[in-house]
Amino acid sequence: MFEYDPVLYSRILTTLTLAFHVIFATLGVGIPLMIAIAEWMGIKRNDPHYTLMARRWARGFIVTVAVGVVTGTAIVLQLSLLWPNFMRAAGHTIGLPMFMETFAFFFEAIFLGIYLYTWDRFKSKMKHFLLVIPIVIGATASAFFITTVNSFMNAPQGFEIVDGVLTNVSPLAAMFNPATPTKISHVIITCYLTAAFILGAIAALNILKGKNHVYHKKALHLTMVTGAIFAIGTAVIGDLSGKYLHEYQPEKLAAAEWHFETESEAPLILGGILTEDNEVRFALEIPYALSILAGGSTDTVVTGLNDFPADELPPLWIHYMFDLMVFIGMYLALVSMIFVFFNWKKNWNAFSRPLLWAVFAGGPLSMLAIQSGWFFAEVGRQPWILNGIMTVSEAATTSQHVDIMLLVFIILYTVLGITCVVVLRRMFKNNSVEHELEERGIVHHSKQEAN
């Protein structure tokens, strides 16, 4: 007979909500920057193609913002309903960044409305461009503040514990904890990277369908150049994140790499299968790489899983989440840099079908990397909801109706997801690039190359 477990259902529902929300949150942070870059390019080069990119991307962005608001509200609701003990203990500690995240969103939303309404209403295009800057700032600030909450959960500080309650709270000390620099940097730049590849995948797909208008080629060139820059930045921050884990969450790093024995000159384990005897088979080992990742030297001693209490270890399948995130990051960097190089070499075809398919694949893969990264970040902290202080089971509700909530939210997210896809498809299918360009009197040059 199946035994009802409110903790399990709470975890499933929270996972479902976060996994669905992170799609729209990622686009919500990254796309405003891409809009700003496109509009700036249109002004700088006096090129209506880039200006049209900004217009079209902004229209699609509105739809994702609407869905993101609903899912974001659901997260706040579920924090109180599913994790009441956590909110009771730490709610006033994380209250400031959560309030600031809401303020940042309203700041962004206000300027987004003004930005959309004022297209073609200024004689100076630069004045309209200035309106997108607060949108970028608001979107990025929103990610900044909400990520400090997650950073606090990984490296809690800035309080005292009295009778199980966090008191004498210093909100700024709680927000700016050791996890904050790498966590925030990684989240923000991967949002930029993912947005670039999602938009690049759309452009690549249009070209693959035979739409060879220079607009699509310029869109692809813009997204891949920015994608290459963000991919390099992601790799640098990923290295710093490994060093943070080594110092503050060594058990998470050890679990990610299936590293059992404490030693220096530790190898990096990629892929493989873990046996019941904790032997790693069929894996690719990179000698000394884990020690270098952890401390920048082959002599760095990396603590193994055997040195931690068994009941405080995260599930070891997070190794695959870590590998997936890293592999996809390397793939995105390689594809974007190949495209940029081919486009720079005028005699090389950057728009060949194999490379276009590789770019297109990068779109969904980039979102998969975001999802695997969050799974690694959250599951890698288990069994703690507040690292070293409160476990997930201690924080969860004891309600007997979480399973009903789960069913309701599954239906809600299904409806939202289908509606979002249908609206976006109709929005752009019924108003093609070629049609808009013709309406605005922009000449079609199908053989012109993107600059």
Q: Using one digit for the tens of pLDDT, what is the confidence trace for 146-189?
A: 999 999 999 998 888 877 677 888 888 889 999 999 999 999 99
Q: How far apart are CA 35 and CA 239, in angstroms?
A: 29
How many other C-beta atoms lie within 10 A of the C-beta of residue 393?
Answer: 15
Say if 245 falls within a structural domain: yes
Q: How far apart are CA 52 and CA 38, in angstroms?
A: 8
Say if 295 falls within a structural domain: no
Quick one: DSSP state of residue 444?
Answer: P
CA-closest candidate to residue 259, choices 240, 244, 245:
245
Contact 33, 230 (CB under 8 A): no
Q: How far apart are CA 257 and CA 279, in angstroms?
A: 12
Ranking 20-24, 84-88, 323-327, 328-332 by mean pLDDT, the lowest is 84-88
For the chain, how big is the Rg over CA atoms in Å? 23
Say if 206 falls within a structural domain: yes
Say if 238 falls within a structural domain: yes
Say if 286 falls within a structural domain: no
Cα dihedral angle (40, 46, 48, 52), rounded to 10 degrees?
10
Ranking 354-358, 411-415, 429-433 by mean pLDDT, the lowest is 429-433
Contact 29, 137 (CB under 8 A): no
CA-closest candidate to residue 268, choices 310, 313, 323:
323
CA-closest candidate to residue 217, choices 59, 48, 356, 44:
356
| Total of domains in the chain | 1
Helix (H) or strand (E) holding 184: helix 180-208
Q: How far apart are CA 451 and CA 309, in angstroms?
A: 58
User: Is the pLDDT higher at 303 or at 162?
Assistant: 303
Structure-token match 């998969």, residue found: 368
One-letter amino acid of 348: W
- pLDDT the model gives residue 336: 92
Q: What is the extent of the structural domain holding 239?
A: 6-262+303-439
Say if 1 falls within a structural domain: no
Say if 267 falls within a structural domain: no
Contact 160, 167 (CB under 8 A): yes
Ranking 176-180, 265-269, 326-330, 365-369 by mean pLDDT, the lowest is 265-269
How many other C-beta atoms lie within 10 A of the C-beta of residue 148?
Answer: 26
For the cut 80, the answer to whether the pLDDT of residue 71 exceeds it is: yes
pTM score of the predicted model: 0.90
Mean per-residue pLDDT over the chain, rounded:
87
Say if 308 falls within a structural domain: yes
- pLDDT the model gives residue 450: 44
Q: Give the highest mean pLDDT range of 60-74, 176-190, 295-309.
A: 176-190
